[in-house]
Structure 1
Amino acid sequence: MNPNSTASGALFLADNLALDFINSEYGVGDQRHDCFVDDHSVMSWLTQAGLLSEHVERQAPSGLLALARTLRASSRAVVNAAMTGVPVDPALINQVLEAGQPVSRLEWEQEKKAFRAATYPRDNSPASLLGPVAEALVALVTHDKFEYVRQCEAHDCVLLFHDLSKSHRRRWCSMATCGNRMKVAAFRSRNKP
């Protein structure tokens, strides 16, 4: 394992934590890319996603990569099931939710001279670190705005996104990448001699 590895190529464009987690593996065939190559790259992704503080040095727990990849596959299956109406077994999601249940504490905040509720991971286990992703997935598939979860319309893109635009007409994962490519291709096909 390389302690300097990062979640190279991580895309945060889905407007949803659970979908960004699923999108940590993207592309097809020879163009397939997996941001999770070892435990440290998963830790890096969690930091980039805002789930871990950049200032806190944490040791990556053993088994984090395996659980992250399994959780990602299960999350993808759950989202597909919610989109198609074909049920799947959410057992792994429920296991991560239970094992990763955060701990809430009442703490005194000296600067504000008041109490505050603080939430912390239960421990440094893979399930505790990935628990917020599982919680985000549950919130996504049980929310009334799930109908706005879409897959990019580009023919060679597998990325998912949550269309939170006012008109709900977003078609591509990113206008800068797939949207631009598809518009250029459409323009060229219309203007062929």
Structure 2
Amino acid sequence: MEIKKRSSPPLFLADNLALDFINSEYGTGENRHDCFDNAQSVIDWLETTGLVPKGTEAPPELLAEARQLRDAARAVVHAAMQSREAELTVINRVLENGRPEVRLTWEKDAGRYRVDVHSGVDSPARLLWPVADALVKLVTDDKFEYVRQCEAHDCILLFHDLSKSHRRRWCSMATCGNRMKVAAFRNRKGS
């Protein structure tokens, strides 16, 4: 049986750029939602996050590269959650090919030096480099231990639990949290 993927608006509830990128595909079974159904939808996501300016053109192969990066990022996060190794070829390719050019320049009018960063938008890797960079920072950070998968039985969304107590259980209290609490209440009442 073929799973039909429906285009859906992106969810931004993970408290982390890389996890929000991974969460651009969510759902289980036949209720699969993919926010990236064409190259423009990837550009729209990047614009929403502020990574590219409005009106950025989508280069060829952006959709394919974004989906490959998302799958690789998901695999790396799940592997890191289990303290095991994952395939890094796609992520390292985006990091290498998309790396922004950083130059030190003299700002004559201000009489000081400044860093000039040119990332360009001429290739999929350059557009997606900030996502790959955010993933690297996430999986190598001491706070990675607070990356969680939603506890709802039918939810695959990931989030970074940055709450003070680190006891967040659901991707969103308004959706999964509420559903799970209602189900628990019904189970208690039914017993």
TM-score by length of 1: 0.89
Unaligned runs of 5+ in 1: 1-6
One-letter amino acid of the structure 1 residue matched with residue 65 of structure 2:
L
SS at match of 2:142: coil
One-letter amino acid of the structure 2 residue matched with residue 32 of structure 1:
R
Residues 113 and 44 (structure 1), Cα distance of their counterparts in 2 relative to 1, 3 Å cut: farther
Matched-pair identity in %: 62
Q: Tell me which residue corresponds to 2:43.
A: 43
Structure 1: how far apart are the matches of 2:11 and 2:108? 35
Q: Tell me which residue corresponds to 1:144.
A: 142
One-letter amino acid of the structure 2 residue matched with residue 90 of structure 1:
L
SS at match of 1:28: coil
Q: How far off is 1:175 after superposition?
A: 0.5
Q: Tell me which residue corresponds to 2:90.
A: 92
Structure 1: how far apart are the matches of 2:42 and 2:160? 22
Q: How far off is 1:117 after superposition?
A: 2.3
Task: For residues 46-105 of structure 1, give each alpha carbon's deviation from its aligned partner in whole angstroms, at most 9, with x where no partner exists.
Answer: 111121123xx2211000000000000000111111011221121111110010001224
SS at match of 1:145: helix
Q: Tell me which residue corresponds to 1:81.
A: 79
TM-score by length of 2: 0.90
Residues 98 and 29 (structure 1), Cα distance of their counterparts in 2 relative to 1, 3 Å cut: same
Q: What's the C-alpha RMSD, in Å, of the aligned pairs?
A: 1.9
Task: Please say if residues 35 and 41 of structure 1, whose CA atoms lie closer than 8 Å, have aligned partners that are also in contact.
Answer: yes
Number of residues of Structure 1 aligned to a counterpart in Structure 2: 184
Task: Please say if residues 13 and 159 of structure 2, whose CA atoms lie closer than 8 Å, have aligned partners that are also in contact.
Answer: yes
Unaligned runs of 5+ in 2: 1-6
